[in-house]
Structure formats: structure tokens, C-alpha cells
Amino acid sequence: FLPCRSVLTVACEQTEVLLFDPISSKHIKTLSEAHEDCVNNIRFLDNRLFATCSDDTTIALWDLRKLNTKVCTLHGHTSWVKNIEYDTNTRLLVTSGFDGNVIIWDTNRCTEDGCPHKKFFHTRFLMRMRLTPDCSKMLISTSSGYLLILHDLDLNKSLEVGSYPILRARRTASSSDITSSGSSGPRAVGSPCHQSESGPLSEKHMSRSSQREGGSPRNSLEVLTPEVPGERDRGNCITSLQLHPKGWATLLRCSSNTDDQEWTCVYEFQEGAPVRPISPRCSLRLTHCIEEANVGRGYIKELCFSPDGRMISSPHGFGIRLLGFDAHCSELVDCLPKEAGPLKEIRSLYSHNDVVLTTKFSPTHCQIASGCLSGRVSLYQPKF
């Protein structure tokens, strides 16, 4: 959704991008050859510019006022590009793909041939990358079950091996998992490959990095293995990653490494520095979860928070479920349990004839959009 205008954009499995007026449900435009392969994600940069990314390894910039041609095409990834974020403070575009790279693009200096870019970070088995609403943190999920958090984010500083301190780690990753060079090919969702933890980063290494960077370094890295109910002994793949609109929590969709279970989980951010820079500390706590339908194996289901953060819309079979932290759709901070509890099902909406893969709340109206594998887009105006 474009926040301040009535435009809904839809990324399609083939090469198309569709534009609708969500209020009247009228079709506005079809960009029939937006890319040369599947379109994966769309992000608005402002009231007219938006970016699309694709399995053709490129990112394209578009202007709503002139949709017959791209503003420019950005080349830099070597595999499927799956995620686009935008830092409104620096006006830098941030993309990630199955090549394991997070790339920064300077959209202030775009030309018809593209814009300056640099590789910011690399990790094996990268699935999704998100920025918190205030752009102070970057979260990266992987198909091997790890969640990486870069604290006190500085996008102007590229990260190299050993140049960033690992300050907090609930479970330390193998040093082979996190590098700044090389790439890995795209992974099939649903068959994650777990890394050995036989070579954890040593306390000596972390201490040396912390001393080099100072007491409160930028881009300090935290490596977590989020707890998932029922998966304590089996491992999981984090397929979808979203952030609470107020930055209070992160929302994950996880599947077991045998693809026979799926979970939606909410993790509260626990702020504050560790006692010592090398002290293990987990900055996320599981607060709510619910088991999903586990249909459409091999496909990623993208879920989302409502604009006020009180509800979650989650693909569920041939429809969506609206979930709350309690039955009254209370704020997360008002109903934090001492131990992880179940998300409450507020309403189920079913109108598709195929597996729903994505859903999104309108930022301005009481409206929800969902899209399914067969290509149908549904718009709902739920009544409570």
C-alpha cells in the first residue's frame, strides 16, 4: 500500500506488477514486463517512487507519474533478490537476496544507468532482512534457524570479518555462518541446512573486538536461535520476518526442517546493554505463538502487523486469520505474559481457491489485502 494515496501494488510470480485503487477495487495499471523473472517485493520510497525486486537478480525503480518505463535498473546481486527496505533518515535503499548479501544503494545519486552501491553485510542462508521503524536495528533471518540483529545501525560503514563485535549471543553461531565475502546459492525453502556449532566465536575474540570498537560500538552483532514451540530438538527455518510498527517486537513465521509444522511467533525486544560487552544476553523474548495450517509446503507465507500493532494478519490455508495478543485486541505492552502464551484468533476470512501467500493491512483504512498462489487478490473490510 502507498500510505498517503489510494494505490495498492501487487508483486506477481511471473514478470508482472499490478496496481489497483483499493477503495474502488479498480485496476489501474499492469506492468507486464516489470522484470524478467518473478517479482518478489515492492517498497515505496516516497509518495511517487517505488522499488521492485526480482528473481532476475535486479531491483527496479519506478515513478507513479510515468509507469511506461523504469526510472532505472539496479545491478549488484548475483541471485534472487527477495527483500527491500528504505532508511528514511539517510535515504538509502537496502536490499537482500539469496546470494546472502545485504546491499546499500545511494538513491540520492541515481542515473539512468543505476546508482552507487556497496555490499554492507553477508551471511549464509539469508532469508529476510528488515529495519526497525526508527532504523536503529537491522534484523536478518536465515533458513538455518538463526536470527541476526545489528544494533545501533550505521549503514555508512560496511562490515568486514572481525570488524564488528558480537556483544550478545543466546547461542553463538559457527564462524563459518557469518562472513563478509563469497556467496551461497539460493536455498529451497523447507529444506534448511543447519550449521555445526562446534566452532563458536570465542570470548577472547569478542573481547578484542569490543575493545577495538569502544564500549558502545555501532553495528554490534547479536546472534540468536529464537525459541519455537515444539521445535526445541529439531531446528527450524525462519521464512518470514516483520517488525512491530512501534518497534516493540518482531514477528516470525517459522517452519520445521522436515516441513511438517509451521508457527507464527512474536518476540518482545528487551532493551538495555549487557553487564559486560562479552556477557551473553538475549534481547528477544518469546511472548506469543500459534501453530499454522502448514499447507502449500515450499512457499513462503508473508504475514504482517496492523498499523497500530494490535493485530496480526496471517495466511492460513485458503484464507487469512486475524490474531490478537488477547481477545480484546489489546496493545502488546498491556498483555505481556510471564511465559509465552497463545495468540488469540479474532476472525478468519476465507475467499480464495488456492493457498494464500501474502497479506497486508491498509495504513489508512480498515482494509486488508491478501493474495493467493493462483493470482487472485482479495480485499476485505472486516467488521467486529
d(CA 211, CA 165): 9
The DSSP call for residue 365 is: S
d(CA 4, CA 24): 16
* Chain region(s) in the chain for CATH 2.130.10.10: 1-161+219-225, 232-383
Return the number of other C-beta atoms located less than 10 Å from residue 303's C-beta. Answer: 24
168 beta partners? 222
Superfamily of segment(s) 232-383 = YVTN repeat-like/Quinoprotein amine dehydrogenase (2.130.10.10)
The DSSP call for residue 332 is: G
Strand-pair category, 368-372 with 72-75: unpaired
Question: Tell me, what's the pLDDT at 227?
Answer: 83
Q: How confident is the model at residue 86 (pLDDT cuts 50, 70, 90)?
A: very high
Mean of the per-residue pLDDT values of the chain: 82
Q: Which pTM was predicted?
A: 0.84
> Quick one: which of 75, 87, 67 has its CA closest to 114?
75
Q: What is the pLDDT of residues 331-353, one digit of tens each?
A: 999 999 989 999 999 999 999 99
Question: Tell me, what's the pLDDT at 287?
Answer: 95
CB 170 within 8 A of CB 195: no
Q: What is the pLDDT of residues 98-140, one digit of tens each?
A: 999 999 999 888 887 788 999 999 999 999 999 999 999 999 9
> Quick one: which of 114, 116, 140, 138 has its CA closest to 126?
140
167: left (phi over 0), alpha (psi -120 to 50) or beta: alpha
- Architecture per CATH, domain 1-161+219-225, reads as 7 Propeller (2.130)
Q: Which residue has the cell 475467499?
A: 351
d(CA 360, CA 314): 9
Q: How confident is the model at residue 355 (pLDDT cuts 50, 70, 90)?
A: very high
Q: How far is CA 354 from the centre of its chain?
A: 24
